[in-house]
Amino acid sequence: MESIKIGLLGFGTVGSGVYSILEDNKDKIESHIQKKLEIKKILVRDIGKQRNVDVPKALFTTDAADVINDPEIGIIVELMGGIETAGGYIKAAIANKKHIVTANKALIATQGDEIYKLACENGVELRYEASVGGGIPIINTLTQSLSANNVDEVCGIINGTTNFILTQMDEQGMEFEEALKLAQDRGFAEADPTSDIEGEDVAFKLAILIEVAFGIKLSPYDIPREGITKISKRDIEFARELGYKIKLVAAARRKGNSLEYHVQPSFLPLANPLASVNNEFNAVLVRGNAVGELLLYGKGAGSTPTGSAVLGDILEISKIMGTDYKAGAPLRNENKGFQLEGEGVSAYYVHMSAKDKPGVLGRITSAFGRYEVSLRSVIQRSRAEDTVPLVFITHETERARLDSALKEIELSNDVSKIESVLRVEKK
């Protein structure tokens, strides 16, 4: 039986998952592809480090060249993270005619086109299923199973850390900082959680989905985004009272010839399937013009879920190695004449702290009116204090109009602080 040798760049959580799955499911894998898969070299920082999987020490190296330049290795799996070093290793491996599998969303979102072009020029495959959604097969679903569809919408919860935090705030009544600490204690959040809680991680993933689903190359740094750090327990309570759940949503929607896209915490109606996605789980909703609505749900991170996605890519490459067939999941920059709208229009939830005095509510609503922001509902809570929470739900409006109105309102003597502004989804 033919043997395919694999090199791993990095051996953290995902790398150990790949190794464990390959060892545990070896018979099934070999029966499926009629080839043997063998991990020959693993790049690590510290060979002597204690690990939670039993790996022969001879497989480890601290020199990337031992992996990249090995003539027997046919597939390089990059699991280091980061952009510059990982990107350099991948480009060197491609130049050496190695097929590439990566879980690196930041690299694919920022340099994916360049790497894919280099892979094509060298006749090798580039796969990155694990870069979005952990174990959820969203990339292959869009590029293969739904390739006959025009995609109208991709919308999802694609960061397990923030979803876990928001779930704890909702179900356990925690404030943000308390829920973040719990996420860190459980291993769902990094010591520095900035990329997750500020929405950067989700913007990387959404940029990949936009290019795969719509053929549009978009910098993740150009995607309107907001994290979850401003959401309070009171916002969660207001959402529940109004019949919503708050989730950090990544969305891209075709509106005629325009494409709207954003990463923002949003009010989701309870009937929306994403509203029931809790804790570290992810889900992606896809609407195609032929298939209709499709929901993919599963664990968005972790050793074995992400390792499973990586192994899926390895198996697909292994099956076509030695043939002329290229199934591929390419990034594609077609830009079909779309007008890029960014955030577009939406209804919004606005929570502010206002002075509890006669005439304040009237002056605030008049300010909204001056910027043509129409209000759907108002909630005022009196607490026998100098300031009270005021909550507005607007009708659909442009975010720029709303921001202008809020700027004027915040500069007045009637409001002490704009606490939060969240999108309100219709369905």
**Model confidence pLDDT, tens digit, residues 127-160:** 999 999 999 999 999 998 998 999 999 999 999 9
With a CB cutoff of 8 Å and minimum separation 6, the contacts of 16 are: 51, 52, 53, 303, 307
Q: Report d(CA 219, CA 201) in Å as an integer.
A: 13
For residue 290, give the 3-state DSSP assignment: coil
What H or E segment, with its residue span, contains residue 363? helix 360-370
Q: 11 a known binding residue?
A: yes
Phi, psi of 125 (to 5 degrees): -95, 150
Q: 16 a known binding residue?
A: yes
Ranges in the chain, pLDDT < 50 = none
Q: Which CATH number fits domain 138-299+337-341: 3.40.50.300, 3.90.1150.10, 3.80.30.20, 3.30.360.10?
A: 3.30.360.10
Superfamily classification of domain 346-424: ACT domain (3.30.70.260)
On the 0-12 / 13-18 / 19+ scale of CB atoms within 10 A, 61 is middle
What pLDDT shows up at residue 331? 66
What pLDDT shows up at residue 222? 95
Looking at domain 3-134+303-320, its CATH architecture is 3-Layer(aba) Sandwich (3.40)
User: In this structure, what DSSP letter does residue 158 have?
Assistant: -
What pLDDT shows up at residue 1? 80
Q: 78 a known binding residue?
A: no
Instruction: Provide the strand spans (E) within 69-140.
Output: 73-78, 99-102, 126-127
Q: 357 a known binding residue?
A: no
Q: Determine if residue 123 is left, alpha or beta; phi over 0 gives left, psi from -120 to 50 gives alpha, anything else beta.
A: left
Q: 263 a known binding residue?
A: no
What pLDDT shows up at residue 329? 57
With a CB cutoff of 8 Å and minimum separation 6, the contacts of 377 are: 242, 392, 393
Q: 14 a known binding residue?
A: yes
Structural domain boundaries in the chain? 3-134+303-320, 138-299+337-341, 346-424
Phi, psi of 424 (to 5 degrees): -120, 110
Task: Give this prediction's pTM.
Answer: 0.94
Catalytic residues: 205
Nearest to residue 355, comparing CAs of 408, 416, 310, 313? 416
